[in-house]
Amino acid sequence: MRTEALLRLAGAVRGSVVSAADAAYDESRRVWNGTIDKHPELIVSCVDTADVVEAIRYARTHDLGVSVRSGGHHVAGSAVIDAGLVIDLGGLREVSVDGGTARVHASGGALIGDVDRATQEHGLAVPLGLVSETGVAGLTLAGGYGWMRRKHGLSCDNVLAAEVVTADGQVLTVSPQEHPDLFWALRGGGWDLGVVTALDYQAHPVGPDVHLAFLTFGVAEAHQVLANLTELVRGAPRGFAPLAVFWTFPEADVFPEELWGQPFLGVAGPYVGAVAEGERVCAALRDLGTVLTDLSGVVPWVEAQQFFDEDYPRGRRYYWKSSHLASLEPEAVTALTALAASRPSPLTSLDVWINGGAIADVPDADSPVGNRSAPYMVGIEANWDDPAQDRANIEWARAASAVLEPFSSPGAYLNFDDLGDPETFRRAHGDSYERLAGVKQAYDPTNLFRSRTGPVG
């Protein structure tokens, strides 16, 4: 039975309100990660800012905690809150671009693919992540690492302004001039401060075509390949920001059948710059070691942005962590190689992000993103399909994190974390943690927004 208040809410919003009484409830509470099984009290699908204001008013009146869902991609399922109210921004996906100033206005529920499509109409791109179905808001508010990171910084470094609905229902324009404390906080520490209904970004010229590198090598050559690769990247223009991935050849026709099921170390990434320059820089990748396969070529930027899409289907089971490495010394590579060999699932990968460049140019105090100077980040991605394998995969990822600890600097990346340990937030924000806590207290003193809890005990 719906209460009068709930009926009033349903009548007040242009979007929809779903509770456990509705047939749509089970589908509405699902997120991308198939291990997440949370039971919110209500899901309010918003189609405009006024809907968000109504949802917040209802949550305050009924003392419900609030989470925000944009792309629903976070592995911890933090877009959904048990026994609370989910503000679903999936109905707010408009993106507009001012080609003259390269300023992009993205609604709070826009996905990376939405932004890429709109910006490429103008020969532009915003630095975002590597899979096109990820929400730009969740990604940006906690950092945002992508192919443009070494040239143009993290996604959050490219935010110019935001529209935010605060816990008291006010709609604020947030920029360096207006509410500068909240603007500072949103650029990397932005979850649970309010509902970000729009983000304005600075875009940059890219494409329409780019050179995309994707070569694979035997894991036995990992020391040589990674040493050569890191040296190559350090000497190359900042448009070169590849990923080195320990993975397993899938049963896909693009690979020779004799390699199916074999482990590999792949080097992948588009060159952010002219195609000819990309071809020249990436030609050196063939000398990193003995090439097993080379699928490099020229592709549209939008396609490069979808390179990993089909490897991450909705509903698969995922558990991720990450480590910031101070160096890729031989002992660290030996550890990575051993971890790669012990992966319980062939879908699981260890991703080495080579950072530096524009990421490290930003002074630590300018944003709540910690660990900017760490030259490498390893994404520990346990991916599997069989629920019976949950424990084995989760334990592997946790053990991998512990094994990499001696080589790591004391940071964390919230977008690649199970969020189960509250200390993770302190590690992620480093010296900015107390200042961020002050902004939270100022804008959400009753802790209305409380999505930051992990799913796995």
Binding site for ligand FAD (CB under 6 A): 32, 67-74, 78-79, 89, 108, 129-131, 134-135, 137-139, 141-146, 191, 195-196, 312, 415, 451
Please identify, using beta-carbon distances, which residue of 239 and 289 lies nearer to ligand FAD: 239
With beta carbons less than 8 A apart as the criterion, state whether 67 and 84 touch. yes
CB closer to ligand FAD out of 233 and 335: 233
Helices 330-341, 222-235: axis angle to 10 degrees equals 120
Minimal distance in Å, beta carbon 404 to ligand FAD?
Answer: 18
For ligand FAD, the closer CB: 71 or 269:
71
CA–CA separation, 325 and 336 (whole Å): 11
In whole angstroms, the minimum distance from the beta carbon of 352 to ligand FAD comes to 13
CB of 137 to ligand FAD, least distance (A): 3
- CB nearer to ligand FAD: give 337 or 409: 409
Q: How far apart are CA 314 and CA 169, in angstroms?
A: 33
- The residue (of 210 and 292) whose beta carbon lies closer to ligand FAD is 210
CB of residue 136 vs ligand FAD: minimum separation in angstroms? 7
Structure tokens at 348: 């699981």
Residue 238 or 292 having the CB closest to ligand FAD: 238
Query: Residue 141 and residue 295: Cα distance in Å, rounded?
Result: 34
Contact 248, 346 (CB under 8 A): yes
CA distance 326 to 131: 26
Say what angle helices 330-341 and 390-404 make with each other, to 10 degrees: 170
User: What are the distances in angstroms from CA 310 to CA 243, 314, 319, 371?
Assistant: 17, 10, 18, 30
CA–CA gap between residue 186 and residue 192 (Å, rounded): 10
CB of 96 to ligand FAD, least distance (A): 17
In the bound complex, what is the minimum distance in angstroms from residue 171's beta carbon to ligand FAD? 13
Q: How far is the CB of 230 from ligand FAD (least distance, A)?
A: 19
Q: Can the peptide bond before residue 208 be classed as cis, meaning omega within 30 degrees of 0?
A: yes
Q: Tell me whether residue 107 or residue 337 sits nearer to ligand FAD (CB atom).
A: 107
Q: Residue 209: CB partners within 8 Å, gap ≥ 6? A: 275, 298, 299, 300, 301
**Smallest gap, in angstroms, from Cβ of residue 358 to ligand FAD?**
15
> Min. distance of Cβ 209 from ligand FAD in angstroms?
21
- List the Cα angle 393/386/112 in 5-degree steps: 75
- 3 state SS of 106: strand
Residue 383 phi, psi (nearest 5):
-130, 125
**Rounded least distance, CB 99 to ligand FAD, Å:** 25
Phi, psi of 435 (to 5 degrees): -65, -40
Instruction: Give the residue with the Cβ less far from ligand FAD, 38 or 74.
Output: 74
129 versus 242: smaller Cβ distance to ligand FAD: 129
Structure tokens at 286: 């063939």
Give the separation between CA 145 and CA 159, rounded to whole angstroms. 14
Instruction: Select 56 or 215, whichever has its Cβ closest to ligand FAD.
Output: 56
Alpha helices for 273-315 (secondary structure H): 275-283, 301-304
- Exposed, middle or buried: residue 422 (CB in 10 Å: 0-12, 13-18, 19+)? exposed
In whole angstroms, the minimum distance from the beta carbon of 71 to ligand FAD comes to: 2
Q: Measured from the CB atom, is 198 or 335 closer to ligand FAD?
A: 198
